[in-house]
Structure 1
Amino acid sequence: MNSRVFKSKNGIELIVKNRKSAVFFEILGHGHYQAVLEFTSLKFENFITHLEDISNKAWDNFTPKEADSFGSDYYEYYDKEFDNNGYLTIRDDWIFIERPSLDSPRFYKFNKRKMESFLCDLKK
C-alpha cells in the first residue's frame, strides 16, 4: 500500500494511503474520535492533486462528479469492520473527520463513488 503524509497547520499529520479500489485517511497517535485539519492553500492544492493522481490509478474511468445518492455522498460512510459510521466535512482549506473507532488509526475509507464526489467538492 502506498502512502503520503500531509501535515496540517495545527500539527496533525494526515496519512493518505491507497491501493487498488480504495483510498484511506489515517492519523497516527491521535486518541480522539474527531480531527480538524486546516491546511495552507499550497498544501491543500498539493493534497487535491495527490488525491486525483491516486484515484486515477485506483479506479478505471474515475471522474469527479456531484453526489447523486446517499451511496455517493462522502459525508457519512459505514465501516463494516468496526460496525460504525465515519463522517467527513470540508470547508475552504480545512477538513473535519470523525472516525468510526478508536481501535484503529483509520479515519475514513473511500470507495470510487465517494471519492468522485469528494474531489468534485474539493475542486469547487
Structure 2
Amino acid sequence: MSINLGNFKNREVVVFEDAQGSKLYVSPKSKSVEFLADTEHSGKFLFDKEESTSLINYLMELGKRVKPDFAPKYGNSAGSDMHEYYDRKYDNNGYCNATRRLDTVVINFDKPYGSEERLYLMSIPKLADLLWAIKKVE
C-alpha cells in the first residue's frame, strides 16, 4: 500500500529511493521535518552514494530554511539527540538510528506505536544530530 500524498496537498514532499527500492518521504513543516514511508515498510533505509548525497543536501537546505546558521551538530541533550522522540499525536515514542559506512548511509526508524505512515517527526536540533551522524565520516 502506498502513502496517501493527498494528505500533503499544501505541503512539499520529496521522495528518496534507497538501494532496495524503498521510498522515504520527507516533508518539511514550519520548525520540523516529517519522515514517512509506506504503511508496510519496516523503517530501514540503505542509501547509495548518489541518493545519500541528495538526501544530505536536501536536509541541510531544510535546516537552513529555519535557521540560517544551521550546521550538523552532535546531539548531547534530550532535545537534540535524534535517537528518541515523543509523538503527541500517537502518545508514544519513535526512534531513529543513522550511520554511514563508506558511501552508504543507513537510517533505521522505529515508528511510534499506532502510526501507519509517519516514521519520525524531527525537530531542527534533532535534524542537526542526524546530519552529524551521517556526515561525520566525510
TM beyond 0.5: yes
Q: 1:84 aligns with which of 74, 92, 99?
A: 92
TM-score normalised by structure 1 residue count: 0.89
CA contact (8 A) 1:9 1:38 kept: yes
What is the alpha-carbon distance in structure 2 between the residues aligned to residue 123 and residue 53 of structure 1?
Answer: 14
Q: Provide the secondary structure at the position in 2 that maps to 1:57.
A: helix
CA contact (8 A) 2:31 2:123 kept: yes
Residue 79 of structure 1 and its aligned partner are, at CA, apart by: 0.3
2:129 is aligned to: 117
Query: What RMSD, in angstroms, separates the aligned Cα atoms of the two structures?
Result: 1.5
The answer to which of 89-98 and 45-54 deviates more is 89-98
Letter in 2 for 1:104: E
Residue 65 of structure 1 and its aligned partner are, at CA, apart by: 1.1
1:69 is aligned to: 77
Tell me, yes or no, if structure 1 residue 40 matches structure 2 residue 48. Answer: yes
Q: Provide the secondary structure at the position in 2 that maps to 1:109.
A: strand
CA contact (8 A) 1:20 1:59 kept: no
CA contact (8 A) 1:20 1:57 kept: no
Letter in 2 for 1:11: G
What is the alpha-carbon distance in structure 2 between the residues aligned to residue 95 and residue 121 of structure 1?
Answer: 10
Letter in 1 for 2:34: F
1:97 is aligned to: 109
Residue 81 of structure 1 and its aligned partner are, at CA, apart by: 0.8
Q: Percent identity?
A: 29
Residue 75 of structure 1 and its aligned partner are, at CA, apart by: 0.6
Q: Provide the secondary structure at the position in 1 that maps to 2:51.
A: helix
Residue 102 of structure 1 and its aligned partner are, at CA, apart by: 4.1
Q: Provide the secondary structure at the position in 2 that maps to 1:90.
A: strand
Where do 5+ consecutive residues of structure 2 fail to align? 1-10
